[in-house]
Structure 1
């Protein structure tokens, strides 16, 4: 220790004692600054070390990902996996080192500063106080007059008592100083020694780990040397082959043709052919042929039985090098790149037909199973076009909705399945239980494996687990029921059935049943007074769903309190329409009817949970349905939600107009596209004898006319070719897919409704 204060000098209170105290106090103050600085540096070092461990762990995870990617290479996968495991051990060793550092430096030195130095400061305060009292007693004793004996005795007694107290306090202070000077050495050295031992253990652990890994690394190095030699050899061989092939004559593309007439399974052909689509436009596509033309014709669903087919040249069309494969029910027009290739393909098909006769019955049955519609037709060869929103993009967008990051029913994290009519996400186990309920209760789809149309993806993003659980689990806590945990299969089945089928947890008091008199409160016009006058309000413009609405008075949308049929009423009569009453006094069907117009999906889900009929018809509003109200409200997503929950796309009102009629009248292109995809009958006529196409032609709406005519052509083509139940040719699907994308993602592109529309 730097300074020791003598106890004898303390009793004398000599100048030497005071000088020693001053020196010790200055030394302790400097010691406190040094220790505080060391503790702060230790904290910074630990924080930096933890950040290093996090970055190191991310790097190690990258190595593991690379190892999984290299699963087809056993050497690379094994080596990277072993190295990543070793790095994980080193991360663990680093974590232990930082914990030891925190205990040995930060905690121990901080305790010394807070405890021992605090005691020193407290003793110093007491010493300074008693020193001041002693000085005051000395001054008072010196000032008393000798002739005042009483005051002399009093001053002497005070001085004696003060000196006695001073000696006790001074001795305690000196003791605290000496103890502190002695203890600080042991505390500092003990903490530093513990810190160094932590490093010693860390490096020993690392040395032992890599000593075990050393032989493997040595063997891998030798193997790597051989791989380098083999790679150099392979490179020379490939360069030689490249040089040899480069010298060949490629003047004719036919030299690329390779086939084997004596192949065990018929002629093997590989390459490209143009195929004429069976649509009204007779477009030509260039699909890829499999190795075996026999498998291509069967799997591609071009013919049902190759034994019933013939192949012939086609010289009566404008294109060259064409040939046709004809079956009793259909034909397939193909085009080669040259005459030589055409002859080779014809010979290949003929040989495949002969092979089909030689095939055994059981093999033919297996091929027939492969030719089921689920495998798709050649018309849908461009698979990437059909996958509008698939995989991680759909998963990420849906899981961003509040509550969707965990299963709606059991809370398991990272759900990969969804119920599209409920708008919730599910784990794989709960999705299986939902499938067993039936599609009238829950329609299950994968967020990573299935195709997601844009309107359906928007529907999922409008609802979510939190919204649905507030409806279907409103009374769970009141009833004292606990949600099942992941892995409890039987408990899950009982809970999910009670939740969605029996709807036991729905708050029945949230919607009160209303008498007919209340239902009549929000209508004041008879159906005879409400004649169609939609074009009276001038041009329309698109809203946020790609659907047009009336805009002659500058409003983006109609107020939610206006009666639905008031959209078709003249300006003078619209003022008398009654407003909707409070939703708490509506029966479920009426709430669904109102919420559909207001584009309020949570309210719609609540109404369905309370038993609302999705096809409920309002007898006071021309028997309009919630789906028709959704059309009038101008929301594509609302229509999709009702259709997913069983709404009848062809249910009409008293004027004979279904949802497709109303969407056509209002110029809602996105809704027209949606209803046609969902099987709407475009041949249905209203009470004036007009079908949707005639309405669109009179309104000069080019987009809707195009959609209706394409749908009609596709329907006629499928009927003529016997393709009942098939989706249609590729061009038809592409056009409807583009309109769906625009309606959901770029609605402004559908704002083409002409302002000079005429009344019909």
Structure 2
């Protein structure tokens, strides 16, 4: 049994803790702050001396000043971490120590005053709640302290590595090509951070101090730069605000216990919220920017420039490693912004039916017409047969997908798919990659689904199960479950998609073309599942099959050898290449009547099915492939007046500058038909 303690004794204990907090803990913070300011002053002096050196400075002076800079920097970092530790200790004690003391006082009153039990017993649930909160805060503070120590250790290790690289004069190449390569390599680490900021918290990619040259007076100012996961680069004139004095925060009477907890919570909330608007920040637009090493003034060291359409920013880092780190990360962000620029213009799906310009029922996605895109993509796709579990290991609630395979995956199997390469599986997240899920892709997934796709890729496995042969045969491998190790999943997925060991292939006669006629007929009849099946089971890539590969009869247009032909025959051949001079097109008044040289993508454009178009593009169809008359799929769309498919092709990278054999581009072919009423189509044709 806990002995009864006088409330006065407990209050004395609280006062002692408060006095210790005021006289010891806060004093430690003040001393750490003074030492930090002193070390910062010495470090600033050493840095200014070092960065002001000219290129023609004697080597011994450079070495001496660099050594002073490293020593002062090491001292500065040590004092900075000491100050951070002291402040963390104060914050930790604010969260749990005083709450424990107050709870102890209340508990003592509850046990001591028997006559006041009826009144004080009403506070008992709250008392235990506060005790629980204090314990949770204490545990959270311990976790945060561990994280802080780990980050400090990582920072120190990285600083030692950077110092070693600088001392060994390891300087990355400064040509423009190297910047592009490094940026593209870093894009793999930067891209997930940028994608996570679409619906989540914005994260910092890099931050730190740089010297910025003033555009007006040419002097150098030290600014704090921040590069975040939204692709924004901004800098502050001041890093932070002067902290509020601790003395005025604790002037309340110790005996006034009625509002202690409320005051503590309010004070704690104020300490966590700083108004960054008073820092005076400026933003650099990276969307149309380029970055170059060095400046036009060759006498300065460790500089790089950010060139925007409106302004040029000349920046100077402390050392070569820091400069290249800034250059690489900014370049990676620029690459990511450029890659996502087209998709960003079409994140939101237009709901009013009046915006739909498709001439037939296939040209417009049902998702656009019905407007059920408001439902989360993950919930929508999991309703498709088989999509409630992973297509590979049957793990529940898969939240990753393979765009070209049309299946949903768990996070572990998605990593295996990603290692296969994008030519086999294009892995995207249902929750993070929101810009990917356009209506055509969503409807493609609705048409396929895990159940249908696995009926193709696991045909032999399902066949063995149907005849009660659970053991793997020579042509199959066992399917893993969610709890299996990753190595079994890798072996199964590789056999399934790379080796294609589980597919039931069509029986072909010797000499027969591999499903060319079948896939041409399937595209013509808008049989999406059959096209998917034929693309999956084929041993070779047949997605770029042409009409010439399919027909067995003599082609309408004859190809004339230019070397051995006369001028008259060459002139005749040139005339028949022009689509306006093609007799088949003239007789039928149908631009799609002549299929010579057309690919499956050309045929899908004539059918007007956006989902079929998306399926072929996902499997690698050449979006700019030309037919006999030099027409691309974009030419066919604009000739048929299918503006919705034309805009879809332009967003996916179709080039409107390609001319047909008549010497006209897609834009010029549209203008032949009169004024372009679709403003969006006109803009896309001019931009691509």
Question: Which TM-score band (shorter chain)?
Answer: 0.3 to 0.5
| Higher share in helix | 1
Q: TM-score, normalised by structure 1?
A: 0.40
Q: TM-score, normalised by structure 2?
A: 0.44
Question: Larger Rg: 1 or 2?
Answer: 1
